[in-house]
Amino acid sequence: MSMDLAKKLYAKMPEVFAKARKKFGRGLTLADKILVSHADNFDAQTWERGKAMLALRPDRVAMQDATAQMAMLQFMQANKQKAAVPSTIHCDHLIRAEMGSAKDLLRAMDENKEVYNFLASAAKKYGIGFWKPGAGIIHQVVLENYAFPGCLIIGTDSHTPNGGGLGGLAIGVGGADAGEVMAGLPWEVLHPKLIGVRLTGKLNGWASPKDVILYLCGLLTVKGGTNKIVEYFGPGAETISATGKGTICNMGAELGATTSVFPFDQKMVAYMNITDRADLANLAQSHKDLLVADSEVYQSPEKYYDQIVEVDLSKLEPHVVGPHTPDLARPVSKLAAEAKEKGYPIELKAALIGSCTNSSYEDISRSAHIARQGLKAGLKAKASFLVSPGSERIYHTMKRDGFLDTFEQLGGTVLSNSCGPCIGQWKRADGVKGKADSIVSSFNRNFPGRNDGISETLSFLASPEVVTAYAITGDLGFDPVNQTLKGADGKEFKFQPPQGEELPAKGFAKGEEGFVAPAENGEGLTVDIPSTSERLQLLQPFPRWDGKDFERLPLLIKTKGKTTTDHISPAGPWLKFRGHLDKISDNMFLGANSAFTSEPGKGTNVLTGESNLTIAQIARDYKAKGIGSVVVGDENYGEGSSREHAAMSPRFLNVRVVITKSFARIHETNLKKQGILALTFADPKDYDKIEQQDRISVTGLNNLVPGKPVQVTIHKADGKALTIQTNHSITEQQIAWFKAGSALNALN
Ligand code: SF4
């Protein structure tokens, strides 16, 4: 399948590159090449980094089981017989880690039966590949099977950029985006700026690919990559394995980057060959000039990238980042002093390796080398030591080559091939709420509560080999690179730098792959959603606009200050309802600060006068009475993630208009996609004029056109009225969405 996609893509690249060079008046970076070759319509498109919205046609969609639920429910609303692009679902996020692989998997099958049955049946019907629970973590499986040089993949998970390790643009999106692309719509994204990272030298000793990105997190910070693509190049890039490149791209998400990418090279060829894709490797090889930037770009990179960073791999030290944020970075050698100064608990309670970020053969073999040195000295892991393999292929190869035995001898527990502790699906036996202690992992995120649900836990991130050394010493104050430790015989010894193989000499072992192909023709098949389900609910299309202006709608909430998508649709315990729009909508605005009440998420029903109600309770009452409502917001309303529930729940509970000082771009588009009118105050001071008892009319909607302001009348409780002007960024296409009731309705 990837072979056909690649053939088609490579065949059209030369022509579109020639047009792009002419239009831009310069050579093309690799990111330019991948973007222009996936343009929905290159000629009609405006190309301006940081400003233009691009409409792109991804080659493939990948979904993980938590986000796939709403993505599939939305896709089903479009009434298509089959997904328009090759797509897969991966069951990796819902498996809780506690008792080890086999038992955890059995329990997950039982606990999540409804969700798995739904996803499997929908995949089968709509031509989507289904990877069963335990088959592997989405990004590892995509790297092993689907990513290819030059591809554009979207995935409903932030760490989708892992696919950049094979030279493609792989980008994390919300479920709505995936649903729409599968329904045949192009995918829209702000034309990203470019950070060029020039790598020289070669990693040596303890330094690993993970340290490249940990170092960059410290340098660029968690905001440094926002709306940017990080493009690596330089002689150092060719020295890093394809899976190492995957690790670096994966954690580019921690820079806030749209995605990260490496140019095509022989490491990618070797990886595609060993993962049974020699045909694809040969094809890419024969088109290699298309899959790297134009040579003039590498000669004068400062002319082509918006920012340049230089990293000399030869000088890179192994790093540790954290606690609580990945941009608090320092070399391992500096951690002990800092831990002492800042009072971090020195005893490490747990050390965790693997995950989608770091479970390559290279990672595992280097970690096993450290583990064997510990065992030789008669030591066992002092910290609880957990291993999360990324896929069945990795698991069986680890087993065949003795690494599993080594980790188990050290006292480690091998978990199922799934996310587990990386996403908080971890029943940590020794964790105590309210008590701070330290853990270290080779994962990618470390915000409070991410791993064990305990916000006091100090979570540090490092390479898997450094984490394995920490597992043995159980001591955050130990410097595995420079310090010695005592073996069981009391003699001092020093870890030798880790050694491992990039790829298994005997090839990858195979287990049960866990892939279920879709039906050839899914027409007669049904999708399995029990009517009594608490976790899943079929979506009903939102009503079409009735052609009338909005007259005297009550104000549902006026939010004050930061209103992120997490304030509008909080996660945590609500996540289990993400496939059930009615149930999850009870969380609407629970985290938002209201301009009129001190308690977040609470307000007054202006029809009944009842106060201290949740915003969802108020909205449900208005909806039951057939009345829509208006939300007013502050600056950058809807910042944060692309969470579609933050737009779907308001729409479901009959919010018709959102007026703000300004919107976060993705959320603004999400509101429009759900058929909500997104307006901004022409004069931001008008925000202050809105009061709790106001009724709001939005008129002239039959004449809604791009660029023309919309008139809003505020009816005051004392009978006075004032008219204000609002602006919008609604396009012709988005007016069609508004009239149809939603973007998906407009497809029917
Ligand atoms: Fe996300 Fe962690 Fe799972 Fe990777 S292992 S997909 S980072 S939850």
DSSP 38-98: TBSSTTT----TTTPEEEE--SEEEEEHHHHHHHHHHHHHTT-SS-SS-EEEE--SSPPBS
Residue with CA closest to ligand 1 atom 3: 419
Residue 444 CA: nearest ligand 1 atom is 7
pLDDT at 710 (0 to 100): 97
Strands 384-388 and 348-354: parallel
Half-sphere CA count of 742, side-chain side, radius 13 A: 25
Q: Looking at domain 2-191+278-288, which CATH architecture does it have?
A: 2-Layer Sandwich (3.30)
- CATH 3.20.19.10 occupies which residues in the chain? 550-746
Residue 572 has pLDDT above 80, yes or no: no
What average pLDDT does the segment 679-702 reach? 97
The length of the chain is 748
Q: Give distance in angstroms: CA of 38 to centre of ligand 1.
A: 27
Residue 355 CA: nearest ligand 1 atom is 5
Q: CA-CA distance, 207 to 499, in Å (whole number)?
A: 11
The single-letter DSSP state of residue 318 is P
What average pLDDT does the segment 46-70 reach? 94
Active-site residue set? 92-93, 157, 445, 641, 643
Residue 1 has pLDDT above 80, yes or no: no
User: Which SS3 state, helix, strand or coil, does residue 165 take?
Assistant: helix
Query: Is the N-terminal amide bond of 323 cis, ω within 30° of 0?
Result: yes
What average pLDDT does the segment 390-416 reach? 96
Residue 430 has pLDDT above 90, yes or no: no
Cα–chain center distance at 72? 17
User: Domain 550-746 in CATH: superfamily?
Assistant: Aconitase, domain 4 (3.20.19.10)
Pocket test for ligand 1, best of 423, 444, 445, 446 (most atoms within 8 A of CB): 423
What average pLDDT does the segment 600-622 reach? 97
**pLDDT tens-digit series, residues 169-198:** 999 998 889 999 999 999 989 899 999 999
Q: Which residues of 632-650 are buried (b: 16+ CB within 10 A; e: fewer)?
A: bbbebbbbbbbbbbbbbbb
Q: CA-CA distance, 539 to 69, in Å (whole number)?
A: 11
What average pLDDT does the segment 703-707 reach? 94
Q: CA-CA distance, 133 to 431, in Å (whole number)?
A: 26
pLDDT at 190 (0 to 100): 87
Residue 576 has pLDDT above 90, yes or no: no
Residue 574 has pLDDT above 90, yes or no: no
What is the chain's mean pLDDT, rounded?
Answer: 95
**pLDDT tens-digit series, residues 211-220:** 999 999 999 9
Ligand 1 is surrounded, with C-beta below 6 A, by 92, 137-139, 157, 159, 355-356, 419, 422-423, 443-444
Residue 573 has pLDDT above 80, yes or no: no
pLDDT at 549 (0 to 100): 98
- Lowest average pLDDT, out of 206-210, 614-618, 668-672, goes to 668-672
pLDDT at 221 (0 to 100): 92
Q: CA-CA distance, 456 to 273, in Å (whole number)?
A: 45
Q: CA-CA distance, 242 to 245, in Å (whole number)?
A: 5
E strands within 256-415?
A: 259-261, 307-312, 319-321, 329-331, 348-354, 384-388, 413-414
Residue 423 CA: nearest ligand 1 atom is 8
Q: How confident is the model at residue 53 (pLDDT cuts 50, 70, 90)?
A: confident
User: Which SS3 state, helix, strand or coil, does residue 723 take?
Assistant: strand
Half-sphere CA count of 396, side-chain side, radius 13 A: 14
**pLDDT tens-digit series, residues 434-461:** 899 999 999 999 988 888 888 899 999 9
Pocket test for ligand 1, best of 96, 159, 418 (most atoms within 8 A of CB): 159
- Lowest average pLDDT, out of 186-195, 333-342, 421-430, goes to 421-430
pLDDT at 186 (0 to 100): 93
pLDDT at 702 (0 to 100): 97
Of 161, 306, 318, 171, whose CA–CA distance to 246 is shortest? 161
Residues paired with residue 730 on neighbouring β-strands, in sequence order:
none
**pLDDT tens-digit series, residues 472-482:** 999 999 999 99
Query: Which has more pLDDT, 222 or 695?
Result: 695
Q: CA-CA distance, 522 to 526, in Å (whole number)?
A: 8
ipTM: 0.99
pLDDT at 554 (0 to 100): 98
Residue 162 CA: nearest ligand 1 atom is 4
What average pLDDT does the segment 676-695 reach? 98
pLDDT at 223 (0 to 100): 84
Residue 445 CA: nearest ligand 1 atom is 7
**pLDDT tens-digit series, residues 496-514:** 999 999 999 999 998 777 9
Structure tokens at 625: 């009475």
- CATH 3.30.499.10 occupies which residues in the chain? 2-191+278-288, 319-423+435-493
Q: How confident is the model at residue 228 (pLDDT cuts 50, 70, 90)?
A: very high
What average pLDDT does the segment 413-436 reach? 89
Q: Which residue has the tokens 């999360």?
A: 388
E strands within 373-454?
A: 384-388, 413-414, 438-441
How distant, in Å, are the alpha carbons of 276, 289, 414, 500, 603 from that of 395?
Answer: 17, 35, 9, 16, 52
Q: CA-CA distance, 2 to 482, in Å (whole number)?
A: 46
Q: Give distance in angstroms: CA of 444 to centre of ligand 1.
A: 8
Specify the CATH number for 319-423+435-493; select among 3.30.70.260, 3.40.50.2000, 3.30.499.10, 1.10.260.40. 3.30.499.10
Structure tokens at 254: 């921690």
Residue 136 has pLDDT above 90, yes or no: yes
Residue type for 543, please?
Answer: P
pLDDT at 207 (0 to 100): 98
Residue 222 has pLDDT above 90, yes or no: no
Structure tokens at 530: 């029990």
What average pLDDT does the segment 522-535 reach? 94
Is residue 257 within 8 Å of 159, Cβ to Cβ? no
Structure tokens at 642: 């692309």
How crowded is residue 702: how many other Cβ atoms within 10 Å of its Cβ? 10
Pocket test for ligand 1, best of 353, 415, 422 (most atoms within 8 A of CB): 422
Q: How confident is the model at residue 428 (pLDDT cuts 50, 70, 90)?
A: confident
pLDDT at 639 (0 to 100): 85
Q: How confident is the model at residue 362 (pLDDT cuts 50, 70, 90)?
A: very high
Residues paired with residue 659 on neighbouring β-strands, in sequence order:
632, 679
Residue with CA closest to ligand 1 atom 8: 423
Structure tokens at 86: 């090759």
Q: Give distance in angstroms: CA of 419 to centre of ligand 1.
A: 5
